[in-house]
Amino acid sequence: MSAFTLRARWVVPVAMPPIEGGYVAIAGARIAAVGGPEAIVGPVEDLGDVALLPGLVNAHCHLEFSSLTRPLGEPGSPLPQWIAQVIVERKRADRNATAAVAAGMAESLAAGVTTIGEIATNQPSVYATATPRPRLALLHEAIGFSAARSDSVFADVASRAEQAAADGASVLASGVSPHAPYTVHPELVSRLADWAAGRDAPIAMHLAESPEELQLLAAGAGPFRELLDQRSMWDPGAIPAGTRPVDYLRRLAAAPRALAVHGNYFGAEEIEFLAAHRDRLSVVYCPRTHGYFGHEPYPLAAMQKAGVRVVLGTDSRASNPDLNLWSEARAAMELHPTLSPEAALGMATLDSAGALGLENQVGSLAIGRFADLATVPLVGEGDVLAEVLNSSNVTRIWLAGRSVLPEPLA
C-alpha cells in the first residue's frame, strides 16, 4: 500500500482545532495520521501557503436538475406553484438524467464537495458514469399519497435502494426518501423508516418547508390540497386534522439516521423533539433555497441553542443558482451573524457526515477516514477559518488519496 504525507501551512481537521504547519499522512485510500512531524509516513509533499481540509459533505441535493441554468419559477413564488413547475421539468429532466447528474457531480467536485446526500429518482446506474465522482449517500425517493399505491411504491424504492447498495465503492450509503407530507401517505413514511432501521440506512424527508404544507397538515386544506385534488390523489383519510410536522418526525425517528430537510417552519414542539433525538435526527438547512422562496426567518439560532444538529445542503439548481456548498455556508453566516466560521464549516463537513451516518468515513481529517481532501490558498495572516470561509477558492482535491483536481499530468 502506497503511503505519503501532505504538509500545509494550516491543517484543518474539523474534529480538532487547526494545526499550524501540520501534516496529514495517507496510506492507500485512507488517512493514516494527522498532526505534527511525528505524523509523517513516506515522502512528504509540501503544499505551501494553503489550508488543507476534508472535502465538504453536501447533505441535500437533487443532481437530476443540474443542467438548469437558472432556478425554476420566480423568486418569492409560493412553494405549491414551484412544485407544479418541478413536476413538468422532471419529465424533461428524466430524459437527460445521465448528463445532468454527471454535470452536477463535476460541479460539486470542483467546489470541493466530495460526498453528496442525493435524493435519487433514477436508477442507480445513472450515477456510475462520471469519473472522477464524489461519493454518494443515495436516498431513493418515494412519492405515493394514496394508500392504494403504497405497496408498489415501497417495492420500487426498496429494490432501487438494494441495487445501489450493491453498486460499489462510491456509494457510501443507500437509503430512502419519502418526498414530503403532501406527496407521501404517513403510513408509507413509517414503512420506509422501518425499512431504513432494518438496513441501518439513512432516510430523508422534506418537512415543514412552507406555510401551505402546515395548512394541509392542520386542516386538509389549501393549495397542496388543490394540487392533490387536481391529480385525483387526495385521500381524505390520510392526514388526521391537527397533524403537525412533529408527527412526521416521530415516524422518521425509527430510522438510525433521519434528515428533516428544510424545517423552515419548525416550532417549539419540533425543536424539542429534534434536540431530544439528536443522535438520529438532523435538520438540513439550505440557506439560498430558503431565500429564493422568501420564507420567514430561519429558526437556526433556536435550533442550535436547543442542541439540534443542523447541517447544510444546496438543494438543487431548480431553486439555487449553483451547487457550491461554500456559498451556502457564507449565506448562512451572512443571515445569522452569530454563526462562527468554525460552526459553519462543521455544518458542511463533520455534522453533515453525521447526519447521513457517515461520520466514521468522511467529513473530518482523522485516522481511518477516507483521504478526501481539499486545499484553499491562504494569503492573509488572520483567523484561518475566517479566511477559508471567505475565500473558499478550492485549488486541489484528492479522492481516496488520489489527486483528482487539477487532473494529474499523464
Single-letter residue type at 144: G
Q: Are 257 and 195 in contact (CB under 8 A)?
A: no
Q: What is the CA radius of gyration of the chain?
A: 21
CB of 15 to Zn ion, least distance (A): 28
| Residue closer to Zn ion, measured from CB, 289 or 392 | 289
CB of 44 to Zn ion, least distance (A): 42
Is 315 a binding residue for Zn ion by CB under 5 A? The answer is yes
The one segment of 192-200, 314-322, 361-369, 402-410 that binds Zn ion by CB under 5 A = 314-322
| Residue closer to Zn ion, measured from CB, 6 or 323 | 323
Determine if the peptide bond prior to 132 is cis (ω within 30°).
Answer: yes
| Residue closer to Zn ion, measured from CB, 285 or 398 | 285
The one segment of 10-18, 220-228, 310-318, 328-336 that binds Zn ion by CB under 5 A = 310-318
| Residue closer to Zn ion, measured from CB, 63 or 102 | 63
CB of 140 to Zn ion, least distance (A): 14
CB of 60 to Zn ion, least distance (A): 6
Question: What are the Cα distances from residue 216, in Å, to 12, 220, 268, 316, 393?
Answer: 45, 4, 19, 24, 43
Residue sitting closest to Zn ion (CB): 315
| Residue closer to Zn ion, measured from CB, 47 or 113 | 113
201: left (phi over 0), alpha (psi -120 to 50) or beta: beta
CB of 206 to Zn ion, least distance (A): 6
Is 213 a binding residue for Zn ion by CB under 5 A? The answer is no
Which cell is 101 given? 447528474
Which cell is 393 given? 477558492
CB of 262 to Zn ion, least distance (A): 7
| Residue closer to Zn ion, measured from CB, 81 or 391 | 81
CB of 153 to Zn ion, least distance (A): 18
| Residue closer to Zn ion, measured from CB, 154 or 292 | 292
Binding mask 94-123 for Zn ion (x = CB under 5 A): ------------------------------
Q: Where are the alpha helices (DSSP H) in 294-393?
A: 300-306, 325-335, 341-347, 350-355, 384-391
Single-letter residue type at 210: S
Say which residues have a Cβ less than 8 Å from residue 119's Cβ, sequence separation at least 6.
60, 61, 62, 139, 141, 177, 204
Is 64 a binding residue for Zn ion by CB under 5 A? The answer is no
Query: CA–CA separation, 63 vs 246, rounded Å?
Result: 28
| Residue closer to Zn ion, measured from CB, 347 or 385 | 347
| Residue closer to Zn ion, measured from CB, 261 or 405 | 261
Binding mask 13-42 for Zn ion (x = CB under 5 A): ------------------------------
DSSP character string of 248-297:
HHHHHTTSSEEEEEE-TT--HHHHHHHHHTTTTEEEEE-HHHHHHTTPSP
The one segment of 15-23, 121-129, 178-186, 312-320 that binds Zn ion by CB under 5 A = 312-320
Single-letter residue type at 276: A
Query: CA–CA separation, 118 vs 104, rounded Å?
Result: 11
End-to-end CA, the chain: 21
Q: How many residues bind Zn ion (CB under 5 A)?
A: 1
Residue numbers at the binding site for Zn ion (CB under 5 A)? 315
